[in-house]
Amino acid sequence: MEITIEDLSIRMLDKLYEIEKQCFEKEAFTKQQIAYLVGDYNSIGLAARVDSEIVGFAIARVDIRRNMRFGHILTVDVVPAYRRKGIARKLLTQIEDILGQKGAKECRLEVRENNAAALSLYEKLGYKKVGKLEKYYGDAHGLYLRKIL
């Protein structure tokens, strides 16, 4: 199975939204939010394709706080039929490379405390828990993770 990675394009919007809805229930980004992020100068968005089909995507932003530039992963989505094939790992690794090229010194993200698949993925990639986010997802708690790039 060959996985190819490419930049997100606004032409993919319908497909990205379809995937987002398959991956998240309450916390899914709206189509408008995805469109905004795809077009935002400070966003980095990558899509994964298998056999010409888009099967996953990830979006991060470059943020600056107290003069430090850091990456913030906003979403990582892989369609159910293509999970556990290394697609999220490939998307995140490439996003981190781009963040590093843009001068980010670390990468941060939030994840649901009970999202075992995502937590395992992030820990495998070297992210460490740095805090708990009480009721971050309505009634569910979140965790704040960080990785030095």
Distance between CA atoms of residues 58 and 69, nearest Å: 19
Minimum distance between the CB of residue 55 and ligand COA, rounded to whole angstroms?
9
Q: Single out the residue of 105, 120, 128, 130 in contact with ligand COA (rule: CB under 6 A).
A: 120
DSSP H helical ranges for 30-136: 31-39, 87-101, 116-124
DSSP H helical ranges for 70-126: 87-101, 116-124
Helix (H, G, I), strand (E, B) or coil at 50: strand
Name the one range near ligand COA by CB under 6 A: 7-15, 70-78, 100-108, 132-140.
70-78
Minimum distance between the CB of residue 67 and ligand COA, rounded to whole angstroms?
27
Distance between CA atoms of residues 141 and 137, nearest Å: 6
Q: Which x/- pattern, by CB under 6 A, does the window 8-47 give for ligand COA?
A: ---------------x------------------------
Contact 19, 56 (CB under 8 A): yes
Minimum distance between the CB of residue 6 and ligand COA, rounded to whole angstroms?
16
Contacting ligand COA within 77-106 (CB under 6 A): 77-78, 83-89
